Amino acid sequence: MQKLEVLGANKLKGQIKISGSKNASLPILAATLLSSKKIYLNNLPKVKDIETMINLIQSLGSKVKFDNEKLIIDNSKQQKKIASYNLMKTMRAGILVLGPLLAKFGSAKVSLPGGCAIGTRPVDIHLKALSKLGVKYKIIEGYVHATAPKGLKGSKIRFPKISVGATENLIIAASLAKGTTILSNCAIEPEIKDLINFLNKAGCKIKWITKRSIKIQGVSKINETNYKIMFDRIEAGTYLVAAAVTEGNLTIKNVVPSIIQTEIDILKKIGAKISIKKGDIHIIGNKKINNINIKTAPYPGFPTDLQAQIMVLLCKANKKSLIKEDIFENRFMHVAELNRMGANISTNGNKAIVEGNINFAAAELMATDLRASVSLILAALTAKGKSVINRIYHLDRGYESLEKKLKKVGAKIRRVN
């Protein structure tokens, strides 16, 4: 099994180019199942979750090939409707194929998904909302058996809770439903806007009617289209924290800074010096790090996917900070490993008290989920001596060329077998 060795503690300096967004690519790949025409996608990140989603749509009959950096998807012969457990077990976003399969064929059998071990993460909101479009479903032996005997019919749906995945599944399904669908209490993450931009470019009729409501006029087909996926805002945020925590000096390229304004504002409050030039973000980490209280929230709040990374930075603050995790119930698995490196973090339910003034000590570590793994790398970058991070397959799910990018800006990091 591969490991990463990190020799701290250097200041990072240079430029990092941000890859395409994993979380925008996944629903867009699922949405291509709506089409019978060719779809061309640019800027997909080369990460394991994307490979898994491509394998999943191939298992459903999509013909897929890369032309340089562009992925060409041909669904003219796509006709399978069963998504097997094998491909769903490692990735929760697999459930996003349910909406498009139902919209296209009126029935589907999709395994309940797996994914990061960060809570129970049910799909009840997806299923209840789909039932309002005319879907009947049963769960038998871990599979959702769903049919829409009369086809999908537009409806008014208010999500009981903001869910990124459920909003995406419903947007995709309603795009080919008969009539009009109004979705309210929607997630408004930038990745959802990217999905809508993609679908509208392919001929769908989707528009925002209020801040959290969307109107979808069903269409009968999806056109051939070419689309460039947005940048990965979580990857960008991770490298901004890397600069702040190592007192580094980084220019983050290929981003739209306004999309991550919340993160930029918080890093400024913590003490980093940040400026925007020609669309790039320039950050200089400060020796003095200010404490701050943070709670995670749906966009435009602070993202749960950056909670573990910011916790590492707050371990170095001048006083104690409080982090409240309001999205997932079990997302502090990095805490035990950070404490093994010398941190002083205590948790109580969804709250973590992070004591400051910590100098991390190098250690042998175990990655537990995607974002937790990267937080261990960030801590290791600041620790004198050699840290070894095991189970890095979690990292490979979502960070493209992590060690190459970090090496280029001066980190001493290498992958070993």
- Distance of closest approach, residue 90 Cβ to ligand UD1, in angstroms: 12
Q: Which is nearer to ligand UD1, 161 or 207 (CB)?
A: 161
**Cβ-proximal residues to 72 (8 Å cutoff; 6+ apart), any chain:** 38, 39, 40, 64, 65, 66
Which stretches does DSSP call E strand in 311-382? 321-324, 345-348, 351-354, 364-366
Per rule CB under 6 A, is residue 380 in the interface with ligand UD1?
no
Q: Using CB under 6 A, which of the segments 122-130, 198-206, 264-272, 317-325 binds ligand UD1?
A: 122-130
The C-alpha angle with vertex 187 and arms to 144 and 156, in degrees rounded to 5, equals: 70
Exposed e or buried b per residue across 181-201, where buried means at least 16 C-beta atoms within 10 angstroms of its C-beta: bebeebbbbbbbebbbbbbee
Rounded CA separation 33/29 (Å): 7
Binding-residue pattern over the window 301 to 340 for ligand UD1, x denoting contact by CB under 6 A: ---xx---------------------xx------------
Q: Which is nearer to ligand UD1, 22 or 316 (CB)?
A: 22
Per rule CB under 6 A, is residue 121 in the interface with ligand UD1?
yes
**Binds ligand UD1 (CB under 6 A): choice among 57, 87, 93, 402:** 93
- 47 contacts 18 by C-beta, under 8 angstroms: no
Binding-residue pattern over the window 145 to 174 for ligand UD1, x denoting contact by CB under 6 A: ----------------x-xxxx--------
Per rule CB under 6 A, is residue 119 in the interface with ligand UD1?
yes
In order of 339, 340, 381, the CA distances from 365 in angstroms are 11, 8, 13
Per rule CB under 6 A, is residue 179 in the interface with ligand UD1?
no
The catalytic position among 116, 186, 204, 315 is: 116
Phi, psi of 47 (to 5 degrees): -135, 160
Exposed e or buried b per residue across 46-70, where buried means at least 16 C-beta atoms within 10 angstroms of its C-beta: ebbbbebbbebbeebebebeeeeee
Q: Is 204 a catalytic residue?
A: no
Start-to-end CA span in the chain (Å): 6
Angle between helices 22-31 and 98-105 (to 10 degrees): 20
Site for ligand UD1 in 33-52 (CB under 6 A): none
**Binds ligand UD1 (CB under 6 A): choice among 48, 81, 92, 397:** 92
- Distance of closest approach, residue 126 Cβ to ligand UD1, in angstroms: 5
**What is the number of other CB atoms lying within 10 angstroms of the CB of residue 161?**
10
- Distance of closest approach, residue 384 Cβ to ligand UD1, in angstroms: 32
- Distance of closest approach, residue 27 Cβ to ligand UD1, in angstroms: 7
How many residues bind ligand UD1 (CB under 6 A)? The answer is 22
Q: Six-digit token pair at 332?
A: 């502090």
- Closest residue to ligand UD1, Cβ-based? 165
Q: Which is nearer to ligand UD1, 163 or 291 (CB)?
A: 163
Binding-residue pattern over the window 189 to 208 for ligand UD1, x denoting contact by CB under 6 A: --x-----------------
Look-up: residue for tokens 């790039």? 280
Q: Which residues bind ligand UD1 (CB under 6 A)?
A: 23, 26, 92-93, 119, 121-126, 161, 163-166, 187, 191, 304-305, 327-328
